[in-house]
Amino acid sequence: MKKLFFLGLLIVNSFTSFSQCTLNNATDCLCNDGTQICDLLPDITISWYALSTYSGGPTEYSQAGNGANDGKIRVTGSTPNIGLGPLVVEGQDANSMAKYLCGTDTFTALASDPFTCPNGETAKKFLYQRIYHKNTGIMSFWERLIGPFTYNAGTMYIDEWGKMSLRYEVAGITDPRDWPIVGSGTKTAFCLMDYGSCSTYNGHCRDDQSVYNQGNILVNADFPNWGLGNGYGCSTIEQGIASGYTDIYSENLNGMWINIPPGTCNGDYWIVYEIDPNNYFLEENDLNNYCAVPITLTLQDAPGNAVATIVSDSDPTICGNDSVTLTASAGFNFIWSTGQTSQIIKAGPGSYSCTVTNHCGTASSTPFIVTSLPTPNDPVATDDTACVGTSATLTSTGNNLSWFDLNNSVVGLGNTFTTPPLSASETYYVQDISNISGDIKFVGKTDSSGGGSYFTGNQSLIFDALMSLTLKSVKVYAHTAGQRTIEMKDAGGTVIHGQAYNMTVGEQIVNLNYFVPAGNSYSLGINGNSDLYRNNAAVSFPYTVTDTFSITGTTAGTAFYYFFYDWKIEIGGHTCSSLKIPVTATAKICDGIAPEVDLTNNFIVKPIPSNGVFDLSMVVPSSSDFLISVFDVSGRKIYNENLHNISGKYFTTLNLKEASKGVYLLAIEIGGRRYFKKLVIE
């Protein structure tokens, strides 16, 4: 377990007090580029040596007979800081104020005061990374916001600080992070600290951790700014790792394990450990945050009875020319019916199978079908202009239209939408939606009858899905009104779906619409304070839909039933939608409206598709002002540019290289009228 070595911290402070490289004096601090002005950044790594040797190395447990350790590998993570500056995490800004997230709203409050969201929801908390800056002999700092993370008034958390996985090695793939995953786990940091120096934990600190049994050992003398930091411990105000120090989370701590799926066979594997996988922190080098060590499993199944499966990352009934990502079960050799040999492939409409070889043997999957449904055409919408104080009438082509406001709330249905009286110009969005209903089933305890009480913890129900489906809704009983975040996680603890829902007091239905790929050991629970009803009697697991779905238990055993009643699932239901097309209701003072000239054919965009850079050419009959905007498929504006006094032929370039691959909508506004072009980024 973690221990504070107060003597070691005193030594650090004594050492740095005689040096001209401290948090108050930067005279002798070394910059990475040899200059006198720089940010002194940390460089956090993860030690393969500690992973393979600390506390005797990883500890494997069989699938039964070990209590809470059933089917786990417990591991240790040592995270040396080999950078020129300290890793510093602050729970508050320089003015002793903390920032919190409640739903989509942020709040600022005194860090010393416990915080609860105004609606009663448990908040998430933002933290600050403090970066020290050298300017010759002057040391200063600046702070950057990170998070939000799980909040508890008594400590400081960093979610997914560590990510551990059990993997098959695949010949020809040099980066172990690309090897097939058998099982996984994540670690939430609760106390980043100077556990010990690089000399004390000799072998933990190396200049390269990415290759097992390699990398030069670094000791205290190898760090020109050694000890630069503030003697970090488990403070709720400031934590960190000084230059030339390491922090250690030993395998006996909560969360320090990898889940081994049932059916895994004995044999040779690798443990891959990534630190700060989400790149929350600014560092000297983000490419050295992983290591890998070999492990031989001996307490799992004997080879034989191999099984191959295919899962999709999303609903395998797709719209138009969309695609899904298919993943075969873990192994070290893959042969798809398409001839591809990777574990993961992109798939359009068709039938797919895969032959997988792993330590259990070789097996072929049953065919996996990807089906395509027609996507509605994008609506052709017509703007309208109305006098201030009156309503505009917006119209559009389409078969099943929904109209949305800027908050993405549905405000109308059908081919015509009449706005509220206008005080200013407003933009709305119209979308054509095609719905195909599936087979509806209900599963789980139907209501809260039986013994029980309201519970403020965050336990979860565990369930298996034998086929892909949609979890449409659940019933809950709330003790207090407010927001709750309902999270669905996979077997490794990774959040697949998570959304905040406003709840009133009493019984209510919560509409989730969570897509569930076929798989086992999913969990559905509350992130934060639940204050929802749970049963401690009249509970009888499993709750099943034959050959489809099963709620098998909870994270606290089978004596309780937590929170979610009367699950509504849909098998085979699908929705295909067009782009959301912006439509403008223009408010004008009624002193006359100039005639509109159709310039549809005066605008050319190419190439389509492109890598994110588009050439826009236009011919303008008279001097005009332009507004050029680009919207994504959800209607969010990602690009905006104003052009003034343009006439004749004009050329410009739209640089959207920072945008993700997909379909976008270009809107050109001129003379009170909008023109639209579809953009595709590959």
Q: What is the pLDDT of residues 234-271, one digit of tens each?
A: 999 999 999 999 999 999 998 899 999 888 999 999 99
Tokens of 180: 């097939």
Stronger pLDDT, 590 or 624, i.e. the higher one: 624
Residue percentage of the chain with pLDDT more than 90: 61
Residue 6: Cβ-neighbour burial (10 angstroms; 0-12, 13-18, 19+): exposed
**Band of residue 424 on the pLDDT scale cut at 50, 70, 90:** confident
Q: Is the pLDDT of residue 529 over 90?
A: no
Q: Is the pLDDT of residue 2 over 60?
A: no
What per-residue confidence (pLDDT) applies to 595? 43
Q: What is the pLDDT of residues 577-619, one digit of tens each?
A: 899 999 999 987 664 334 455 677 778 899 988 999 999 888 7
What per-residue confidence (pLDDT) applies to 593? 33
Residue 205: Cβ-neighbour burial (10 angstroms; 0-12, 13-18, 19+): buried
The CATH class that applies to domain 594-682 reads mainly beta
- Do 121 and 485 form a contact (C-beta atoms < 8 A)? yes
What per-residue confidence (pLDDT) applies to 589? 62
**Band of residue 8 on the pLDDT scale cut at 50, 70, 90:** very low
Q: Is the pLDDT of residue 625 over 90?
A: no
| Selection from 131-135, 477-481, 628-632 with the highest mean pLDDT | 131-135
Q: What DSSP string describes 488-517?
A: EE-TTS-EEEEEEEEE-SEEEEEEEEEEE-
The CATH class that applies to domain 439-572 reads mainly beta
What per-residue confidence (pLDDT) applies to 378? 93
Residue percentage of the chain with pLDDT more than 70: 94
- Do 100 and 147 form a contact (C-beta atoms < 8 A)? no
What are the strands of the beta sheet with 77-80, ordered from one edge? 77-80, 245-249, 196-197
Torsion of CA 497, 499, 504, 506, to 10 degrees: 10
**Band of residue 3 on the pLDDT scale cut at 50, 70, 90:** very low
Q: What is the pLDDT of residues 112-124, one digit of tens each?
A: 999 988 866 678 8
**Band of residue 357 on the pLDDT scale cut at 50, 70, 90:** very high
Task: State how far the Cα of 300 lies from the Cα of 369, in Å rounded to an integer.
Answer: 32
- Do 664 and 681 form a contact (C-beta atoms < 8 A)? yes
pTM: 0.68
What per-residue confidence (pLDDT) applies to 597? 56
Q: What is the pLDDT of residues 163-198, one digit of tens each?
A: 999 999 998 899 999 999 999 998 999 999 999 999
C-alpha angle 76-77-81 in degrees, rounded to nearest 5: 155
Task: State how far the Cα of 91 lies from the Cα of 98, in Å rounded to an integer.
Answer: 7
List the domain boundaries for the chain.
6-297, 310-373, 439-572, 594-682
Task: State how far the Cα of 620 lies from the Cα of 184, in Å rounded to an integer.
Answer: 59
Q: What is the pLDDT of residues 427-457, one digit of tens each?
A: 999 999 887 878 899 999 999 999 999 998 7
Tokens of 447: 């209501």
**Band of residue 536 on the pLDDT scale cut at 50, 70, 90:** very high
Q: Which fold is adopted by the domain 310-373?
A: Immunoglobulin-like (2.60.40)
Largest CA distance in the chain: 86
Equal CATH topology for 310-373 and 439-572: no
The total number of residues shown for the chain amounts to 682
Mean pLDDT score of the chain? 89
What per-residue confidence (pLDDT) applies to 520? 85
What is the mean predicted confidence (pLDDT) over 368-376? 89
- Do 512 and 476 form a contact (C-beta atoms < 8 A)? no
Q: What is the pLDDT of residues 48-81, one digit of tens each?
A: 999 999 999 999 999 999 988 999 999 999 999 9
